[in-house]
Amino acid sequence: MVTTKEYTRQEVALRDGKNGAQTWIIIRDVVYDVTTYLEDHPGGGELITEFAGKDGTRDFDDFGHSGTAMNLLKQFKIGELNMCDRAKFQKQGSEWLPDGACVLPPKKRSKRRRFIFCG
Ligand code: HEM
């Protein structure tokens, strides 16, 4: 069975391209290691390093990258964001607890917090 590696946003943030660190970038909850691609980027390496260790989804989409760019991206995929850190759940207010569990706030008219992932 092939399992997809999962990362937290915190782990990705360490790969900010500084002091010899790799350059990772998040696009639509997927984590890419683009360290070796920087010099080849038609928009220049700096446009990507600006988002090193961060979520570049909005800016990547804003430019309107072609299908070629999307295909190219696939080869740099190293994993996905951990459930708790995915955009959809963050929007709902997901929160890490100190023991590594992840919870969502209760739904309206409910007192129960919703556990979505236990790390
Ligand atoms: C948030 C990060 C990124 C930003 C802001 C960005 C921005 C840009 C811009 C402004 C251009 C146009 C360059 C020009 O025409 O002078 C460009 C082109 C391109 N970028 Fe990015 N880029 C980003 C990340 C990436 C990544 C991660 C890949 C692939 C691994 C990629 C692949 C390409 C390709 C192939 C082109 C040529 C045009 C196309 O096929 O769409 N870019 N990018």
15 close to 21: Cβ distance less than 8 angstroms: yes
69 with 110, same domain: the answer is no
CB of 76 closer than 6 angstroms to any ligand 1 atom: yes
Q: What pLDDT shows up at residue 88?
A: 92
Percent of residues, the chain, with pLDDT higher than 90: 73
Per the structure, the complete domain to which residue 36 belongs is given by: 1-81
Both tokens assigned to 94: 């997901």
CB of 59 closer than 6 angstroms to any ligand 1 atom: yes
How many other C-beta atoms can be found within 10 angstroms of the C-beta atom of residue 13? 15
How many other C-beta atoms can be found within 10 angstroms of the C-beta atom of residue 29? 17
Q: What pLDDT shows up at residue 64?
A: 95
73 with 25, same domain: the answer is yes
90 with 50, same domain: the answer is no
15 with 47, same domain: the answer is yes
60 with 9, same domain: the answer is yes
pLDDT single digits (tens) 26-63:
999 999 999 999 999 999 999 999 999 999 999 999 99
Q: Which residues pair with 30 in a beta bridge?
A: 27, 80
71 with 103, same domain: the answer is no
75 with 93, same domain: the answer is no
4 with 60, same domain: the answer is yes
